[in-house]
Amino acid sequence: MLAYADKVRPLGGADLSAEIARVGEQGETPAAQMQLAILLAQTRVPADLARALGLLQRVIANPAPEAQPLHPLARALAARYVEQRRVEDDRDKQVQQLRDSQRRIDQLNERIEALRAIERSFARPNTPAPTPSSNGSRSNP
């Protein structure tokens, strides 16, 4: 099983999808369930990771003799996938917090610019427009 995991680790995109389809057709044997779980965990899709965990739980709960040798690996992978799911959930929360913070920063910057515009309008001196004189010289008051 470890050799299989090593073999499919570099797969991505269409190759990964094709291998998922191929393994999915093999049936419900514990080995096929393990292989499918390994493949699904590589898709980086939360629903696939949840499905992989479900498959591993089925292998762990399977008392059949062919499932027994897979139990330790299934438990180890399940623990790793649970941790992966937790990390991905935390990352998603942080990304959302970052977006919210950036939106708030943008709103505050807009308010600051509006206040600066108001401040500039108050700072303009109210000087009267120059009046043209008839002879081009200054008149004494």
- Please tell me the predicted confidence (pLDDT) of residue 4: 92
- pLDDT value for 123: 78
The full DSSP string for the chain is -HHHHHHHTT--HHHHHHHHHHHHTT-S-HHHHHHHHHHHTTS--HHHHHHHHHHHHHHHH--STTTGGGHHHHHHHHHHHHHHHHHHHHHHHHHHHHHHHHHHHHHHHHHHHHHHHHHHHHHS--PPPPPPPSSSSPPP-
Chunked into runs of 10 residues, the chain (141 residues) has average pLDDT values of: 92 89 86 94 90 94 94 96 93 96 97 93 69 55 48
Domain limits, the chain = 2-86
